[in-house]
Each structure stands twice: as structure tokens, then as C-alpha cells.
Amino acid sequence: MQSNIQWFPGHMAKAIRQFEANIKLVDVVFELVDARIPFTSINPEVSRISQGEPRLMILTKADLADPKLTQQWLRFFRTQGLVALAVDAKLTGVQKKIENAARTLLTTKLAAQSERGMERQTIKAICVGVPNVGKSTLLNQLVQRRSAPVGNRPGVTKGQQWLTGNGHLELLDTPGILWPKFQNQTVAEELALTGAIRDSAYHSDDVALFALQFFRTTNPTVLQERYRLQASALELPAPELLLLITANLGMRDDYERASDRIITDVRKGKLGRFTLDEPQDVVTDEH
Ligand code: GDP
């Protein structure tokens, strides 16, 4: 794994400043994490900055994740006092689900405002999360594409706009893009495998080897079928297994290309639904 998959400190500082300014404008933060790596794709700055502000934890790509582990993660987040839900951000209907959850989360706040005579129809929100987690996809769903920007408002970063949809949500048009954390090799590999860091930032064979290690223990049958492997092949050291798969794919010794194929297969769910993080690892894991 190359070591250059770091964010520049300047970018981080800017992202934090922007998020700190934006949070003052919204009622609720929609914190998006990838359901396949719910812990790895968390940016700790979100909870630090949004301390005390209502936050809805949205596990995206739940359609690609292991459903049992998704349930475990939802329970885990709820024990942390968070309101959490899992979605396929591409499905219609996601807007209602999120709006209802946001309304429930804000019950006290909205009731207090209503007592003061401020009846509120709309809820203002911002989406934040690491690259590729589904921020734009969800934003498009929430504002249902047909909506138009409603213009600038005081305090909003120049050029930033509120988007509204058919529902009662107003979203800032610029989602908060946060950097992923790179505490250790495993974290970086998980981010690479799920697509949260750009392809040029890692060696695909490292990531493919990581994937093979994972799938041969969690889902050996699908690995065998996909790459036409004998059961005994799964006992091979991972680099040899990769070479064998390269040959089976008819790619001679182009193991870089085979690695890319494996990564694409994983991301598309061709090796089945999977989740790389488990809640029970959080206590002991140092990432
Ligand atoms: P952003 O960088 O956070 O704005 O992420 P995008 O919204 O651009 O999504 C990145 C990729 O993930 C796109 O190819 C989306 O179609 C896909 N995607 C987003 N959400 C989901 C989801 O819930 N399920 C699946 N299967 N794909 C998703």
C-alpha cells in the first residue's frame, strides 16, 4: 500500500471550517457511512463538530452489505445513542424513510419551536461523508431531481444553495466531503476495496490479496465458482491463489489486470454481500 493516500492538512482544515459553518445552518446532520465498512468510513470529526446537534446515521449501500451484520451495526449505533438506519440510496422510497426518521429525531426541537409559535414545515439538513459513500445519490433522491435551487440565504457560503423536493426536507446542495482515516494498512485496504479512495492511490494487487483473504474465509463457495477454483486451491498462500485466478481468467501473468477484475467484482457484489467491519472489533481495534 502506498503511503501517499493522505489528505493534505490544508484540505482537512478547509473541510472542517466549512462543516463548522454549515452545521450552524441546519437542523440535522445526515452522516453517511458505507454499510460494508460502517466503522472504517466514520470520520471522527463529524461527532466532534456536531456535538449536541441532532445527527442521523445513514448506512448507505445496505443492498451490498451482509444483512445480519447491518442489523448488528444498527443496534450498535443505537446503543451509542444515535438514530441509525440502513438504506439502498438508489431506491425510490428512501426519501420518505429518511424524512420520517429526521422528524422523529427532531420531535422535541420541533415541539419546542411550535410552542413558541414557530410552526415549521421544513427540516434543513446536510449530507456528510467520505468520498463515494453515496452523498450525491442520496441528495438527488431527497430533492427528487425536479426541485430547483431556492436561492442563497444569509450565512450560506457563496454559491451554496438550498435544495427542496416534494417532501419537507431542505438540503444544502454541497455535501460535506470528509477525508477517510488511514490509521493502518487494514483500514486503507478496506477503503480501497469499497471504492472510498481513488484507484491511483493504491496497488490493486495489495487490495485484491486482501479481498481474497477475506472471501476465502467468509464465502469460499462463491469464490470457487466465480473463478473456477478447486476447493484445494483455497488453501494456497494468497499470492499463489491470485496467480491461479489470473490464469483461470485467461489473463496469462497479468495479475494487475486480474486484481482489478477481482476488485470490480467485489464492488459490484459479484462475490456476494459482505461487511468488512464487525461491531465486536470496535472495542479492541485500535483504528
Ligand atoms: P459521493 O461521492 O458520496 O457523492 O457518492 P455517489 O453518490 O457519487 O455514489 C458513488 C457510487 O455509489 C455511485 O456509483 C452510486 O450509484 C453508488 N451508490 C450510492 N449509493 C448506493 C447504494 O445505496 N447502493 C448501491 N448499490 N450503490 C450506491
- Taking CA atoms only, the protein residue closest to ligand 1 atom 27 is 61
ipTM: 0.99
Q: What is the pLDDT of residue 68?
A: 97
Confidence check: pLDDT of 4 > 60: no
Confidence check: pLDDT of 180 > 70: yes
* For residues 221-241, average pLDDT: 96
Task: Note the pTM of the prediction, 2 decimals.
Answer: 0.90
pLDDT bracket for residue 286 (50, 70, 90): very low
Q: What is the pLDDT of residues 255-277, one digit of tens each?
A: 999 999 999 999 999 999 999 99
Query: Within 10 A of 241 (CB to CB), how many other CB atoms are there?
Result: 21
Q: What is the pLDDT of residue 185?
A: 85
* SS3 track for 130-190: CCCCCHHHHHHHHCCCCCCECCCCCCCCCCCCEEECCCCEEEECCCEECCCCCCCHHHHHH
Q: What is the pLDDT of residue 145?
A: 54
Whether CATH 3.40.50.300 fits 9-177: yes
pLDDT bracket for residue 146 (50, 70, 90): very low
Could you identify the atom of ligand 1 that is nearest to the CA of residue 35?
23
- Name the DSSP letter for residue 87: -
Q: Is 273 in the pocket of ligand 1 (CB under 6 A)?
A: no
Could you identify the atom of ligand 1 that is nearest to the CA of residue 64?
26
- Alpha helix locations (H) across the chain? 9-23, 44-49, 67-79, 94-105, 107-115, 135-142, 185-194, 204-218, 220-226, 238-248, 255-268, 281-284
Interval between CA 134 and ligand 1 midpoint (Å):
4
Q: What is the pLDDT of residue 156?
A: 47
Q: CB burial class (10 A; 0-12, 13-18, 19+) of residue 199?
A: exposed
The rounded percent of the chain whose pLDDT value lies above 90 is 56
Q: Is 136 in the pocket of ligand 1 (CB under 6 A)?
A: yes
Could you identify the atom of ligand 1 that is nearest to the CA of residue 175?
4
Q: Is 61 in the pocket of ligand 1 (CB under 6 A)?
A: yes
Q: Is 2 in the pocket of ligand 1 (CB under 6 A)?
A: no
- Taking CA atoms only, the protein residue closest to ligand 1 atom 6 is 134
Q: What is the pLDDT of residues 40-72, one digit of tens each?
A: 999 888 888 888 889 999 999 999 999 999 999
Torsional class of 195: left (φ above 0), alpha (ψ -120 to 50), beta (otherwise)? left
* Of 74, 136, 29, 55, residue with least CA distance to 275: 74
* Domain range list for the chain: 9-177, 203-284
pLDDT bracket for residue 97 (50, 70, 90): very high
